Structure 1
Amino acid sequence: MSGFTPKRQLVLEIIESSDRPLSSQEIFAMRKGEINLATVYRSVNYLEKQNLIEGFSLFSESKGTVRFYFRKRRPHLHFFFCGRCQSFTPFHDCIFSRQSRTEIEEKYQHKIQSHVLYFTGLCRDCQSD
């Protein structure tokens, strides 16, 4: 793949090894000194365009709107996002049933290849604050 630099490979490896979505700031903090923040931003942009990772934006009270990235090769992703502390809680059980998928595909005449399902709110710790 042309343009696939060692720094882009590093960013991809960080994202692929994570069990939750990561922001550019988090990626940078994990490898501070090895890579600068501008390179992280350029790398996630490139990796997303190459269809190797997927990104989405969520709002949190503390940081505003933040873009998070996860590995594309997962067939699906489920998680809860705390809008106050920005913590993720992954769900390992798929709650999107085959019946629901079939009904949606038939109703809208689309073919679902993957899905991301997330809930937002306040985690247990932030509820008590």
Structure 2
Amino acid sequence: MQSSTREGSLDKTGDLAVYLVDGITDLSGKSAYGETVQTSDQKHVQRINICKSALSSWRLAASTVGHELNHAYHFISGAYNRWSKISADYAFAKSEYISQAWEYMNGGVPTNSIMMDNFNTMISKEYAVGRKK
């Protein structure tokens, strides 16, 4: 079975801190089950916060942790930093889409409308590779 996060790829995290918190609000003000907090240089992860409500089922807990570990991998591997050179919106959308696709492929239930919004941002003409501005 092939995994989207390669074995040993999180070794650069050192002592990765995972916290259980009472509530998480995303950038748009909506509640979320988890968040990965990166350093200002977008190369390392400070911590992963998991909302206590994500522990309401094993499936949701596993889906949330896996989703956040995908984000951690994007930051640590340098992928997020590379994507940010296109734009911050593109990097955010790409990381979210990949993390939500991981959830879907592993039995989670990501919100399809959010997943499609992120996909549409990634493929928009504004971010087309080689497009002259």
- With the length of structure 2 as denominator, give the TM-score of the two structures: 0.27
More strand by share: 1
Larger radius of gyration: 1
More helix by share: 2
- With the length of structure 1 as denominator, give the TM-score of the two structures: 0.27
